[in-house]
Amino acid sequence: MIPTYHELEHRADMSLRVFGDDLRALFANAARAMFEQLADLSMANPSTRRDIDVGGIDLESLLVNWLNELLYLHEVQREVYSRFVVTELTIRHMRAAVYGQPVTQAHLLIKAATFHGLHIEKDCQGYGTTIVFDV
Amino acid sequence: MVSKHELTRIDEWLWEVPMGFRADMRVPARVYADEAILDAALLDRSVEQLINTACLPGVVRFVLAMPDIHQGYGPPIGGVAAMSTTDGVISPGAVGYDINCGVRLLRSNLEASQIRPRLGEIMDVLNNGLPSGVGRGGDVRLSEKDMDRVLELGAQWAVAMGYGEPEDVDKTEERGAMPMASAGAVSSRARKRGTDQLGTLGAGNHFVEIGEVSELYDERAAESLGLYPGQVVVWIHSGSRGLGHQVCTDYVQSLQASVYRYGIHLPDRELVCAPVDSPEGKSYMAAMACAANYAWANRQLLTHRVRELLRQVLAAQFPHAAFSLVYDIAHNIAKLEEHQVGKNRVRVVVHRKGATRSLGPGDARLPASYRQIGQPVLVPGDMGTGSYLLLGTNEAAERSFSSSCHGAGRVMSRSAATRARRGQEVQRTLAEKGIEIRGPWKGLAEEAPEAYKDIDRVVDVVHKAGLARKVCRLVPLGVLKG
C-alpha cells in the first residue's frame, strides 16, 4: 500500500506531508496521520463515534479547523480516533463521522495544527499538503 | 532560504537582513548571534520566518531574533516584534499556542551536598506526586465562577486560595495577573479544556528541575537575589495548558476572515492578526491576558505542590526546608509597553515568542527588592548541561525592546533525537553524571541534551551584546520531564 503521509524534518515542531486521491481522502488521511503520532493505532478497536461539523473560509482553514476540532475532542473526551469517514465536503464546510476509543495517556501532546506554509495542492496523482503542528 | 552574504554585520553580535531584501518588508530583520549560531540558523527557515514577521502592519524599528533562534511556525522561536498601537496589529500566531509558557526559579535554604544522596528518592516523590503528561488532569476542578477568577486574577487568585505565599505574587512578572484580562473573551471550549488542568505540568519540554548554583559571575547581585554556590534551587517550566492552546486556536481561526476585512496581506497565514485597536484585536488581547493569567496560576499551583512534596520527603532530615520564589517570567506573550522609536516614546505591543522581557535597574515595574539590580532573566538549558540567571539591562531597551533569550534552542528535531537515542539510554548516561531524570521514555529521548544548542554560547551572546548580564550559572541535579 502506498503510504498516505510521511514526516518531514522540523527542528522544534512536527511537519507531516499528507496525500489523498481526493479531498475527502486527504482530510481523512491528515486526521489519521495526526493520530498516529499520538498513539499506536495498529490494534485500534473503535468503540465510540463522534459526528463532526466544521466550517472555514476556504479549504485550508477547513483542514486546520477539522484537525483542531479533533484535537479538542481528543483532549476533553480523552479518546483517540482511528477511522475517519468524511461524509460531506465543500470549500467552506464539512461533516464527518469519526470512530475512536478511550486513551489513558497519549505518546505526544499536539497543541494545534497551524496555517504555517499551508497550501492544498492538486496534481495528476490527487491532492497533497504539508501541515506543521505545534508540539 | 536566506544566504549569509545577504546579511549585514552590524557589530560582533548583531546581523541584519536589510529592508530591501524583500519588497514586503516594512522594517529590517535583526539576529543576535555569533557566527556559528547564525550559520546554524541559516540552515532552516527561521530567518525567513523572521523576515515574514517584518512584513506585519505597524511593526516598528526592526524585528529581532535572540541567539536561541530556531524554526517555529509564524515567527521563529526566539522572535521579538513590536507593533504600534495606533496603526499596528496584534497577532495570536506571533505569541503561539502555549500562551505564557514561562519559567520560575525557587531558591532553598539547603545545600546540594545535603540532598545529593537522596536525589533518586526525591525525584520519585516529585514524579509520583505531580500531575504530568499528555492531557493529564490535576486535583483541582474549577467551577465556572472560579474559572472567571483564575482568568482575571491569575497567580493572585491562587495565593488568595492558599496555594502559596503573598511574596510569590511580588516576584512574578505582572504580579501574576495581566490587567486587560476579560473572562468573557475566552470561549467555552477553552474553559472546558482548562477545567481540570490547573496545577499540571503538561508534556513536551515542560519540566520541574532540582538544580544547584554552580558558578557566580556577579557576587553582589547574587547576594541581593539570595543565591550562593552549592545552594539547591528548583525550576518550574509550564504554561497555560489546553486552555491557552484553545484560545490561540480560536483566534487564529476567527481572525482569518478579519485580515481580508482590514485589507491586510500576509506572507504566512499563521501570522494572522488584527489592528491593535480593532474589536477583534482587543478581544484577542483580553483572551490572551486571561490565558497568561491561567498560566501564572498554573505555575503557582505547581509551586505549591512542589513545596509540599519536597517538605514532606525532607521533613525528618530538614524540618525547616524552605523554597522562596526568586522570579517568574513569561516567554510566549504580547504586552503593551512604551518604547523609544526615533525621537518619540511610542506605545507598542511587544510580541515575544520564545523570548523574555529584560528590564534594567530602576524600572518601576520591578518588585522593590529588585529595582536596584534589574529584572531576573531566567534561561533554562537542557537537562544535562546548565542554566543561567541573568539580570536585565537598560541598554536592552534600545537594543531589543527590553528582551532577552529564553533558553538554549533546539538543534535537532524531536524525531531525529528519538532515532538517535532511547530514553533509557539518556537516563543512564545522565545518571552516570549524577543527574537523576524521570519522565516518559519518548519524552526523555526527545529532550536529550544533544538536541539543544550550547547554552553557554547562547548566553554569551546575550551578555556580550548587552541584552542581559550574567549573574550565575546553575546545573541540574534531577529533572522531571512532563
- Contact B268/A116, CB-based, under 8 Å? yes
For residue B61, what are the contacts with CB-CB under 8 A and spacing of at least 6?
Answer: B27, B82, B341, B401
Count of domains for chain B: 1
Mean pLDDT, rounded, for B378-384: 95
Percentage, residues of chain B above pLDDT 90? 93
pLDDT tens for B280-297 read 999 999 999 999 999 999
Query: What's the CA gap between B378 and B399, in Å, rounded?
Result: 19
Q: Which amino acid is at B238?
A: S
Residue A70 belongs to a domain with what CATH number?
3.55.10.10
Q: Residue A74 sits in which domain range? A: 5-134
pLDDT tens for B132-183 read 877 677 888 999 999 999 999 999 999 999 999 999 999 999 999 999 999 9
Q: State the average pLDDT for chain A.
A: 95
Residues recorded for chain B: 482
Residue A29 and residue A4 in contact, taking contact as beta carbons nearer than 8 Å: yes
Distance from CA of A105 to the nearest CA of B (A): 6
Q: Residue B278 sits in which domain range? A: 102-411+452-481
pLDDT computed for residue A5 by the predictor? 96
Count of domains for chain A: 1
**pLDDT band per the 50, 70, 90 thresholds, residue B362:** very high
Query: What's the CA gap between A66 and A74, in Å, rounded?
Result: 12
- Contact B71/A108, CB-based, under 8 Å? no
Mutation for testing the A interface, residue in B269, B410, B447 having most A CBs under 10 Å:
B269
- Kindly state whether residue B444 falls inside one of the protein's structural domains: no
**Cell numbers given for A114:** 497551524
**pLDDT band per the 50, 70, 90 thresholds, residue A1:** low
**pLDDT band per the 50, 70, 90 thresholds, residue B409:** confident
- Helices assigned H by DSSP within chain A: 23-38, 59-77
- Kindly state whether residue B80 falls inside one of the protein's structural domains: no
Give Cα A55 to chain centroid, integer Å: 15
Q: Nearest CB to B270: which of A57, A108, A114?
A: A114
pLDDT computed for residue A105 by the predictor? 81
Residue A49 forms contact with B (CB below 8 Å): no
Q: State the average pLDDT for chain B.
A: 96
Our separate counts of H helices and E strands in chain A read 2, 8
Catalytic site includes residue B406:
yes
- Considering only alpha carbons, which residue of chain A is nearest residue B453? A11
pLDDT tens for B153-165 read 999 999 999 999 9
- Kindly state whether residue B118 falls inside one of the protein's structural domains: yes
- Kindly state whether residue B401 falls inside one of the protein's structural domains: yes
Residue B290 and residue B127 in contact, taking contact as beta carbons nearer than 8 Å: no
* ipTM field: 0.95
Mean pLDDT, rounded, for B297-310: 98
**pLDDT band per the 50, 70, 90 thresholds, residue A13:** confident
Residue B261 forms contact with A (CB below 8 Å): no
Residue B254 forms contact with A (CB below 8 Å): no
- Kindly state whether residue B445 falls inside one of the protein's structural domains: no
Query: What's the CA gap between B1 and B42, in Å, rounded?
Result: 7
Residues forming beta bridges with residue B212, ordered by sequence position: B232, B475
Give Cα B332 to chain centroid, integer Å: 6
Residue B474 belongs to a domain with what CATH number?
3.90.1860.10
Mean pLDDT, rounded, for B320-341: 98
Query: What's the CA gap between B390 and B130, in Å, rounded?
Result: 28
- Kindly state whether residue B39 falls inside one of the protein's structural domains: no
Residue A37 forms contact with B (CB below 8 Å): no
- Kindly state whether residue B188 falls inside one of the protein's structural domains: yes
For residue B410, what are the contacts with CB-CB under 8 A and spacing of at least 6?
Answer: A11, A12, B70, B77, B451, B452, B453
- Considering only alpha carbons, which residue of chain A is nearest residue B439? A107
pLDDT tens for B65-104 read 999 999 999 999 999 999 999 999 999 999 999 999 999 9
Reply yes or no on whether the pLDDT at B447 is more than 80.
yes
pLDDT tens for A37-71 read 999 998 899 999 999 999 999 999 999 999 999 99
- Kindly state whether residue B315 falls inside one of the protein's structural domains: yes
pLDDT computed for residue B135 by the predictor? 67
pLDDT tens for B3-41 read 999 999 999 999 999 999 999 999 999 999 999 999 999
pLDDT computed for residue B413 by the predictor? 85
Residue B447 forms contact with A (CB below 8 Å): no
